Amino acid sequence: MSAGPRLGAIVLAGGRATRLDGADKPLLDVGGRSLLARAADAAVAVGAADLAVVGPESPLDAVGTPVRWVREDPPFGGPAAAIVAALAATSAAGAPEWTLVLAGDLPHAEEAARLLAADLDLFPADTDGVCLADASGRPQWLTGVYRTRALREAASALPERGRDAAIRALLDDLAVAVLRAPAHVTDDVDTWEDLHRARRRFASAPSPSTAEEAPR
């Protein structure tokens, strides 16, 4: 049994957003909330007791759990370096048993987090983590939940604190299961068209009150 909390979370929000003309992508609004707020709220909603956001500090409403702002050194070192920096910012003593990793550009972060955190007790002991797959079946490593101990060991093995390393270099030696998710759940926002599509999807979705009043 871990001495620390059951679940922590890392949100990656420090990319260059080159295909969005350098826009501050985490703060882009989708459905009335920023992408960053969606990811942070998603982590808290599934019980993350600790939340590290890797990226420049940005406006973020209180989400019910402490938020630590971290930056990889040097900045823009890539997602592997971002995860290494987040792990290095906390002590291994009392670390959470599991770490939820979420890219900061997921419009449907809440659905993704809910799928990943639903059955932690059912994962086999020899499984180091689970990530979601996109519609084509391709693993989405930045939408996953991993045993913190295994993630730390993998991070310690990367040279130069993971600078410019592919995310696969961090996770390649871990036993990671892949969970197929509904196609929209792993959609991210890399381009303006992605952003417009996400906004259209939220605009066309029924409001909670409408859904409750719908005939059964």
Residues (pLDDT < 50) of the chain are 1-3, 209-216
Radius of gyration of the chain (CA): 17
Question: Global pTM?
Answer: 0.89
Residue 2 confidence (pLDDT): 41
Residue 54 host element (H or E): strand 50-54
Q: What would the pLDDT profile of 91-121 be if each residue is shown by its tens digit? A: 777 789 999 999 999 999 999 999 999 988 8
Give the strand order in the sheet containing 50-54. Answer: 67-70, 50-54, 7-12, 98-103, 139-147, 129-133, 176-180
Residue 170 confidence (pLDDT): 94
Residue 97 confidence (pLDDT): 93
Residue 125 confidence (pLDDT): 87
Residue 214 confidence (pLDDT): 43
Question: CA-CA distance, 55 to 75, in Å (whole number)?
Answer: 8
